[in-house]
Structure 1
Amino acid sequence: MTSPDLFAATDATWPAAAYTQVGPWVLRDGQGGGKRVSATSPTAEARPADIPQAEAEMTARGQSLLFTLRPEQADIDAALARQGYDIIDPTNLWLAPIERLTDVSLPRVTAFCIWEPLAIMEEIWAKGGIGPERLAVMARAQEKTGILARWNEKPAGTAFAALHQGVCMVHAVEILPEQRRQGVASWVMRAAAFWAAARGARHISVLCTQANDGGNRLYSSLGFEVVGQYHYRQKNPQKVT
């Protein structure tokens, strides 16, 4: 498993409304669904001299000037930095063999795989800032499920998982504040793994910003490994969340 496989899995399991290649750039139409589905990415052929083309295309579409970059695209990253683009949300790509999370059975009535999302799931997501635009992103994915967690006989959290070529990617993990630090997120990830394993998945993956210390500790403790990173470069970064 290599990072490019996970970038493809990210696009498939958290898809933009549309992808358009213009020269050496891939532009995304996010329709308000956040940076991951709105950022422009360079292809292998892109060079710093091509940046004005991407900027012109984003401007013509009424989009914020937002790029997503991997470590191997350092020349473009450096050029954007010189042009006043801020670095936003350095993110880890975590990966584990699926069996690493299916070695412990789920306690009864702890986590349920459900699609379409229940109202309580949408309410929990909304409390974490995941609104209709991101629910629309979920709806665009193909083989998918939502996960509803319960703890102390009450709703505790929710997440979204989808499959792409043997990889289960988990997104939008949201645990209610009063239910945190009790292992709920671990059970959510294990529930996703059991769901995916039953459908032939070989790996499970999750994205986590490097600033999210709690999330990164959780995935490390579950046996995930960091296999890649990416970040954004943006002008006027308050415009896209």
Structure 2
Amino acid sequence: MLSAGLVGRRIVLRYRRADGKLPPLSDVVGELASLTPTTAIVAGPNGLTTVDRAAIVAVRAVAPHRRQILELERIARRGWRAAEVVDLDGWLLHADHGWTGRANSVLPLVTPRRPLAELLAAAGRFYAERGLPVWVQLPLPARGLLDAELAGRCWSVQRPAVLLSAPISGSAEAWGGDEGVRLDPVASDAWLQGYHYRGGPLPEHAVRLLGRHDRVRFASLSRDGSVVGVARGAVDEAWLGVTAVEVAPAHRRSGVASTLMRALADWGRGQGASQCYLQVDADNSAALAFYQRLGFSAHHRYHYRAAPAES
């Protein structure tokens, strides 16, 4: 009912109050801050509530608040730093030679006061100057209204994805063994040869993007002298972001990915991270099932909207 996998997630917890108090049951809503064998501590709007685990009647995870969704998307962009970032009244315009949607799209963190048409026109000029299409990332349901507005303007959906999260403490111990993983602050040639974004080789601006971070590690696992798996980890605030996970086809389902995850989690914990996030394409059922087995759960979904082609 109540497990370590819920630490860091937003929950509703129902518990029995002390003898004689009315009503006999009470609810607390907030983030499960910590869990011990005897108590659960929930961080809610009125501060911390400590509940005796023996008094807990029911618990369920609830969707993150809109603010939490947007905050995690802000942090995720910090972990994947585009060469250019321009603030347009709270809309962050990212551009980096068109490599990846995250580094070449608008992230609407706030609801600006300017009319939508004016904002879209300004974003259009920004991307046109760089020879890029206009894409807007829409974390859902936090940006559901904007999504509907763009749908009404015939903007098309691109690359639906799921952002997954998990606490590091209490989960990472089950992520893999202690097989030797190399962690480098700079991507080596062997690491780069092991990573193929959407099947293609990496251009120089992609290599620069991957390394554009002050707390980053490139994890690689070798067997018989050859790199069989790679991953990248970056820490921002209390979050470890894992990206660029790839395992050589002949070594899949042999523990490579979980071993890489464990090594990055151990490093991230040493950097002060308590939570881990990663993004998975919504139609990648194998990856979603794998990360679910590691204790990850869906924090929220998102997709991009692309501006319609000019007629």
**Candidates 23, 28, 33, aligned match of 2:89:** 23
Task: Give the equivalent residue in structure 2 for 1:133.
Answer: 205
Query: Structure 1 residue 101 and structure 2 residue 172: aligned?
Result: yes
Counting strand residues as a fraction of each chain, which structure ranks higher? 2
Q: 2:138 aligns with which of 49, 69, 73?
A: 69
Superposed CA offset, 1:53-99 (max 9, x none)? 33233324432121111122222212222322221111111111112
Counterpart Cα distance in 2 of 1:60 and 1:31: 12
Identity %: 24
Q: CA 1:153 to 1:89, structure 2 compared with 1: closer, same or farther past 3 Å?
A: same
Q: Is residue 220 of structure 1 aligned with residue 287 of structure 2? A: no
Match of 2:79 in 1: 13
Shift of 1:116: 1.8
Q: Does residue 166 of structure 1 match 2:238? A: yes
> Structure 1 or 2: larger helix share?
1
Q: 1:214 to 1:151 in 2, by over 3 A?
A: farther
- 1:36 is paired with a residue of what secondary structure? coil
Does the 8 Å contact 2:80/2:103 carry over to 1?
Answer: yes
Taking the aligned partners of 2:257 and 2:184, their CA distance within structure 1 comes to 17
Residue deviations 1:173-227, cap 9 Å, x none? 1111111122211111111101111222111111111111111111100001111
- Give 1:44 shift: 2.1
Question: For residues 156 and 77 of structure 1, do their structure 2 counterparts lie closer, same or farther at Cα, with a shift above 3 Å needed?
Answer: same
Taking structure 1 as the reference length, what is the TM-score of the superposition? 0.88
1:51 aligns with: 120
Whole-Å Cα distance in 2 between the matches of residues 22 and 104 of structure 1? 40
Q: Which has the greater radius of gyration? A: 2
* 8 Å CA contact 2:176, 2:258 repeated in 1: no
Q: CA deviation at 1:25?
A: 2.5
The SS at the match of 2:82 is coil
- One-letter code of the match for 2:247? I
Stretches of structure 1 that go unaligned for 5 or more consecutive residues are: none
* Equivalence for 1:33: 99
Over the aligned positions, Cα root-mean-square deviation in angstroms equals 2.2
Gaps of 5+ in 2: 1-7, 9-67
Q: What is the deviation of 1:151?
A: 4.1
